[in-house]
Structure 1
């Protein structure tokens, strides 16, 4: 039996969109979350060709021996799979994906991991109906999912652009979009409420779903060229703490009966995905009522052991603060607040966490200490001492994360973990947050970890490059010294302090 027959079920199940065989890399699969390693062994060119040769018929062997022009179909489990070499690659790189017949020619699809337009595809726009605009947009979204791209950018004067593995890649051979085309595409999927919001405020957020493909988080805005949009893929299935590599100490926060747990980080750092995994853990292990308040709803949770109520701001409730206030009358055990946006929402969340509920929330801060300072600084000076006392009592943990580019493709989260104990509570109460990094550093045995240490561990495990760790570090001088101690030269990294 060909060895790759053991990997093909990942494609059949939809867990992956393609298998990638490449010289000097292990076997990998492209998933909605990026490239994932399937084997540990790094393949030589001869091993790549041997694996492909097990699938090929006699008529295809010559191309394999020559290691160029490889393209054939392989039948497995009564389905056909396209095996194709990527042209112009610096190494031997071969993709295996479901074989798709073109409607017009009957030829197999030749889409590559570099984002290319297929020959014969019609240009986007002008559209003669709303349905035509929607079909054109959803065609792009299907490409986005099949490539494992995280985001789709639509801009006037640019072709469609995908973010893959942290990099922006333009859809090759596609004409630049005009304002009329982008506008028609976005209004074709925009709910009426968001159309009114966009017409008055010039930006709006909403969710869109293609059944059987994925859900998407959509932001529409105006820039100096016209209407623009960023559309992010949301995984169709909820992710688990095991898949996310979340530590047992952080998982233990899900078993608390009350308190505040914050997941923080810059935009696009995977906060929503981490929260999804934590909610899923609660859903699988507790028998409670979970209320989520989001804008928009991203991951859709099905009730398991828990009862889950998901509310979207602007659709099911007027605001985060009104939904959070109302939640206290809805018999909740756990409340997830998608974003702690303003003083009043933060104040209600703190009071809720104090009165016997477990509250999860997010903030756009980069470290645990800055998270505490951000919350306190939201309040007038005459209330800040009281807020420090409330935080000291109710805050149970802060997970601050950033996404890093992995060696070989894909991205991985580096997380700073603060678990609040008596020592941390005392520092919060006394306003000595500057000492929190020292506490994290000395309490590693409890499961705490600084962001720099998390990044350094990813470098040591050869998951990310030293340069990536330095760029993502907050305390760059400390990171620079530690990387040099490991023998890494980062003299040429832009922005070194």
Structure 2
């Protein structure tokens, strides 16, 4: 048993999502969205480095010493998997570990809208799950892939850095590929995947122009592609996917994306105030022919109006989802206000509205 495993046991017992170990500071856990210090001594750089190197593969240690950053996966059988990131900072080394539950929760158990499960059974197209870091994108995608794995008879390939949720093959064949270990890059793996008879491809992160281009191409050639972007709304997601391309290519990409896109799910996590735990608010855009036409004609500014009128298809605006959680008494008015897009809608619910001089 590695010395650091005691911290993972504490993390699991406390229900923490992240563990922070940084030279010059005591350890800390992220509990229900907040950083909480652990009653432990200040970590010494040499001691922490020895602790971290005990669980890191040799090739990852080499990358870390050369670049000052590295990502990899670590697993404690019977407890959980962890997404590890080592980094260098002013006082020495540091690390953050995100716990990835060994049990994959279904769409129903996560309390997600039924339309999310339906995304697993699309025949083809591009589905983007977006939101800030730590918003639960990986958990939502894992639930969708689990739904496909249990109900379809297909080949699923996941491309991640590192591998997070591990899906045992059920009705589907599931192959997990990790960037750095099994393939050179997201784009190289995605290019290779097109020759590996896939039906469903999960791309852990659409990081660059080449990866986004290949994902759009795969979605347009008969595959169902899932991917993530760090954007805060459905409309901004479509814009981001197009704006990474040079101006001369954007008209063509807009047309290709319009043909391939099927849905965008933008989500954010809230701390629950009624019980321990967190809950996600989701903005859902279903790419109906009318929505795809807006993308093709560069009228993404009209997407929000289309979402408002598309409730029968399962669409909803993020602010509507937040309002629903607020009215149920699950989240605080202050949290709702802070994470809403239209803050004026939530201002009447808070006692002391903040004065934001940038919100003119």
TM-score, structure 2 as length reference: 0.96
Give 1:146 shift: 1.2
Provide the C-alpha distance between the structure 2 equivalents of 1:162 and 1:489, rounded to a whole number of angstroms: 29
Distance 2:253 2:220 in 1: 12
1:415 is aligned to 282
Instruction: Give the structure 2 partner of residue 466 of structure 1.
Output: 333
User: 1:444 — aligned with what?
Assistant: 311
CA displacement 1:300-326 (0-9 Å, x = unmatched)? 100011110010000011110011011
Q: CA deviation at 1:336?
A: 0.4
Q: How do residues 226-237 of structure 1 correspond to structure 2 at under 5 angstroms?
A: 226-237=92-103
The answer as to 2:19 corresponding to 1:152 is: yes
Larger of the two Rg values belongs to structure: 1
Aligned CA-pair RMSD: 1.3
Shift of 1:385: 0.4
Does 1:349 pair with 2:215?
A: yes
Among 182, 187, 194, the residue aligned to 1:316: 182
User: Aligned equivalents of 1:373 and 1:155: distance in 2?
Assistant: 37
Looking at structure 1, the residues matched to 100 and 250 of structure 2 have their Cα atoms a distance apart, in angstroms, of 38
In the aligned structure 2, how far is the partner of 1:147 from the partner of 1:246? Answer: 24
Distance across 2 between alignment mates of 1:456 and 1:284: 33
CA distance in 2, matches of 1:138, 1:229: 14
CA distance in 1, matches of 2:355, 2:150: 45
More deviation in 293-302 or 435-444? 435-444
Q: CA deviation at 1:445?
A: 2.1
Unaligned runs of 5+ in 1: 1-133
What is residue 476 of structure 1 aligned with on the other side?
343
- 1:111 is aligned to none
Query: Shift of residue 490 of structure 1?
Result: 4.4
* TM-aligned CA distance change 1:142 to 1:491, over 3 Å: same
Deviation at 1:391, TM superposition (A): 1.1
Matches within 5 A, 1:189-204: 189-204=55-70
Q: 1:266 aligns with which of 132, 152, 162?
A: 132
Structure 1, 403-412 or 342-351: larger mean CA deviation: 403-412
Q: TM-score, length-normalised on structure 1?
A: 0.70
Please say if residues 467 and 493 of structure 1, whose CA atoms lie closer than 8 Å, have aligned partners that are also in contact. Answer: no
Displacement of 1:239 in angstroms is 1.6
Structure 1 moving runs of 4+ over 6 Å:
none
Does residue 320 of structure 2 align to residue 453 of structure 1? yes
Contact in 2 for aligned 1:452/1:479 (Cα 8 Å) = no
Q: Which one of the candidate residues 242, 245, 257 is aligned to 1:391?
A: 257
Deviation at 1:451, TM superposition (A): 0.6
Point out the more displaced range, 408-417 or 345-354. 408-417
Query: Is 2:231–2:266's contact at 8 Å kept on the other side of the alignment?
Result: yes
Distance 1:288 1:213, change over 3 A: same
* Superposed CA offset, 1:33-86 (max 9, x none): xxxxxxxxxxxxxxxxxxxxxxxxxxxxxxxxxxxxxxxxxxxxxxxxxxxxxx
Provide structure 2 residue ranges, at least 5 long, that are not aligned to the other structure: none
Distance in 2 between the 1:148 and 1:345 partners? 35
1:216 to 64, 79, 82: 82
- Cα distance in 1 for partners of 2:287, 2:118 equals 13
Distance in structure 1 (CA, Å) of the matches to 2:281 and 2:231: 14
Deviations 1:146-166 (A, max 9, x none): 111111101122211011111
